[in-house]
Structure 1
Amino acid sequence: MPSQAPTSAADPETSRRPGERLLVRLLHLYFRFARGMTFGVRAAVLNERGEVFLIRHTYVSGWHLPGGGVEVAESALQALDRELSEEAGLALTGVPALHGLFFNRHASRRDHVALYVVREFRIESVKQPDREIAEAGFFPLDALPDGTTAATRKRLDEIMTGAPPPAEW
């Protein structure tokens, strides 16, 4: 299991490292011209031990559900499978359930995210740190690492309690 990120009194989604806000804005500026709207996927990968797979990026604070952008000519499920392979070393072995489609105004005024619940998967490789992912691993749902984002906690709570998802991430 990866080591836990340092505890922060502030919400990791609003307290950013120097340069982080600029990098996120530059990426979204690029996508503004490359895409009319940004559309991404995330996965709540849950194993039989009651654990969820989380990642910590090198370029944005906090622990998140794995995922990323849907590319041109790619379906949401193809993007999900690709992102799980790249960010987590996991492969889908069944059809994931769509938990919800969210407007993510924290990322930009044009960003939408489809969140899938993945229970059928196989581990292809143990994710090693790289330029994008600093840490990754499974964590017990009742002991998420310090720095897990508020949105990640909310989505997991909705999934586990059966609460309906809101319109916004």
Structure 2
Amino acid sequence: MTESAKHSVSVAGVIVNDEGQVLLIRRRDNGHWEPPGGVLEIDETIADGLQREVFEESGLSVEPIRLTGIYKNMKLGVLALVFLCRIVSGKLALNPEVSDFRWARRSEIENLMTATFARRVTDALDGDRTASVRSHNGRNFV
């Protein structure tokens, strides 16, 4: 018998402003642009973890509107849940994890982000449809 599989679960919020632009954070550790998010704690609900992570990385309180995608990094065993969110309150604030913010147009997404993160954002922007379910190897979808 093999040991039970273990996965890390992350959450991310795709936040769109009134001009249709998406909030991206620039991570301090690798310089990459991504939607705000992070790893769920064992003892928190998905919604609570999403709200905590978005607040920690942006200073914004959000409300999830809908689940837009489920993504598995096959190499790292990370399952990511991505939600379209609306801003409830707050003000953008830099922090130890984030070096910059940017409101990006859809046409800029693929040039700013890795393919796997760009797909998460574009999936969220693609209207009211069933959540996407995709797997990738950390760089490309499989």
5+ residue gaps, structure 1: 1-35
Displacement of 1:166 in angstroms is 3.5
1:4 corresponds to which residue? none
Q: 1:155 aligns with which of 120, 132, 142?
A: 120
2:34 corresponds to which residue? 64
Residues 103-114 of structure 1 correspond to what in structure 2 (within 5 A)?
Answer: 103-106=72-75, 108=76, 110-114=77-81
Q: Considering fraction of residues, name the structure with more strand.
A: 2
Displacement of 1:105 in angstroms is 2.3
1:124 to 2:90 alignment:
yes
Root-mean-square deviation (CA), in Å? 2.3
Q: 2:82 aligns with which of 70, 93, 115?
A: 115
Q: Is the 8 Å Cα contact of residues 72 and 134 (structure 2) preserved in structure 1? A: yes
TM-score, structure 1 normalization: 0.67
How far apart in 2 are the matches of 1:123 and 1:105?
Answer: 35
SS at match of 1:101: strand
Residues 29-48 of structure 1 correspond to what in structure 2 (within 5 A)?
Answer: 36-48=6-18
1:99 to 2:68 alignment:
yes
5+ residue gaps, structure 2: 1-5, 137-142
Q: Structure 1 residues 145, 166: closer, same or farther in 2, change over 3 A?
A: closer
Displacement of 1:65 in angstroms is 1.1
TM-score, structure 2 normalization: 0.78
How far apart in 2 are the matches of 1:71 and 1:114?
Answer: 14
Give aligned pairs, total.
130
Alignment identity in percent? 22
Deviates most, 135-144 or 97-106: 135-144
Cα offsets for 1:7-57 (capped at 9, x unmatched): xxxxxxxxxxxxxxxxxxxxxxxxxxxxx4211101111122111010111
